[in-house]
A = this chain, B = another copy of it.
Amino acid sequence: MADLIYQKIIESLKKEIDKGSFPDMRLPDERSLAENYHVSRSSIKRALGNMSEQGIIFKKRGAGTFVNPLYLKQDSYFNYSGKNLGITDSFKANGQKPGIKVLSFDVIRPDEELRDNLFLNKGEFVYAFKRLRLLDDVPFMIETGYIPIKLAPELSEKVASESVFNYVESELGKEVNKTYLTISAQPSDEEGQKLLNLTKTEPVGIMEGIFFLNDGTPFEFSTMKLHYKYFKYDSFVDLDR
């Protein structure tokens, strides 16, 4: 559990919202909240600002703070409190058993584009692996990943068959918690049709991205081809910033 004040406020307010403590969709003003929680207004502001970014509430100067009615519908987006970017973990919560089948595992010389994306110099090598991911034994995603050997010298096919990110965290003491994603779609190619059990008219969703360590080091470049029925990305966009 979080021991930070503003995080505790967030948890508490979320519970209150779920409980229906604000039937008019309106939260108490910041000054009252500060008083009731015995914290400074700054901390309340921080909590509310955070919740606003997540789309849980709307703030309007002069008027007050209001619950996003969509939040009460308990849409999937709001329920997702991802603690890990690893696919293994994010799907576990869904009640389905994830599986991994390693299709290939090599060490290769990256081409220029890949070197660019991972900020490598000429002469540095990367692990290249392709994995098929399953949910309840049904394949839904082909993942191609590249990781610089210097960042994970002990990486092995066995590690790849489990969770790479868990390995990084527990063995290397580093954390992958930021990613720059590009999302698109394409017709399925032969490989996709075969591995993901798709017809020619059925497409794949593409999630391509660079995963970063805490300190900003690019750790992995990954291309994920998803069966279109499993391809869904939720996002709350706020242009006031």
Residues of A with Cβ closer than 8 Å to B? 50, 53, 55, 57-58, 60, 63, 66, 68-70, 73, 75, 77, 82-85, 116-117, 119, 177-187, 200-205, 210, 212, 214-216, 218, 228, 231-241
Contacts and interface: CB of A to CB of B under 8 A. Distances in A.
A235 B237 CA distance: 10
Nearest to A186: B228
Chain copies in the assembly?
Answer: 2
B239 A82 contact: yes
B116 A234 contact: no
Contact of A241 (B50, B60, B77, B210): B50
A70 to B, nearest CB: 6
A210 to B, nearest CB: 7
17 contacts: A50-B241, A53-B241, A58-B178, A58-B215, A58-B216, A60-B214, A63-B215, A66-B216, A70-B218, A83-B239, A177-B239, A181-B237, A185-B203, A186-B203, A202-B203, A203-B203, A203-B228
Contacts of A203: 185-187, 202-203, 228
